[in-house]
Structure 1
Amino acid sequence: MSAPDANLTVDLSGLNCPLPILRAKKALADLPSGTVLQLICTDPGTPSDFEAFCRQTGHALSHYAVQDGKFLFWITRR
């Protein structure tokens, strides 16, 4: 499955927990329902953090990839 087109990309490289989740939450709050937020992270804890975040908030983790040591997430706002 290929990654969806993102409406907004936020580079969170260099930030550690809980900052990636907090910044993602703020970015999603400003987006309309159905739009896609792409996140670029370097914290190795973010895959499990964003899975839990999406489960708890109802947003969809549309796609996930690792590229050049970075964790990439595409979250669709609900």
Structure 2
Amino acid sequence: MTPEELKNIKADKVVDARGTSCPGPILAAKKAIAEIQPGQIMEVLASDAGTKKDLPAWCKKTGNEFLGMVEDAGDLKLYIKRMK
């Protein structure tokens, strides 16, 4: 998805993992993904640059779809679609 498309996504769940470093954002995402239904979208807010690589890899490993990322004033907004 393009950054513009991502900015217009209405997430079903928002997880704020800013201020945590690896594995904080992954652990927060893992816990929160169980709270949404398949097909719904979760937005993960992070400030750790490692999350740019870690979250897409976690999605691939868990069978969820990584939709993309938007960087906004140093904060990262990463979007995941729960697949199962």
Q: 1:51 aligns with which of 49, 56, 73?
A: 56
TM-score, structure 1 as length reference: 0.94
User: Which 4+ runs in 1 deviate beyond 2 A?
Assistant: none
Gaps of 5+ in 1: none
TM-score, structure 2 as length reference: 0.88
Secondary structure, in 3 states, of the residue corresponding to 1:13?
Answer: coil
Q: 2:24 aligns with which of 19, 24, 37?
A: 19
Q: Match of 1:65?
A: 70
Identical positions, percent = 33
Q: Aligned residue pairs: how many?
A: 78
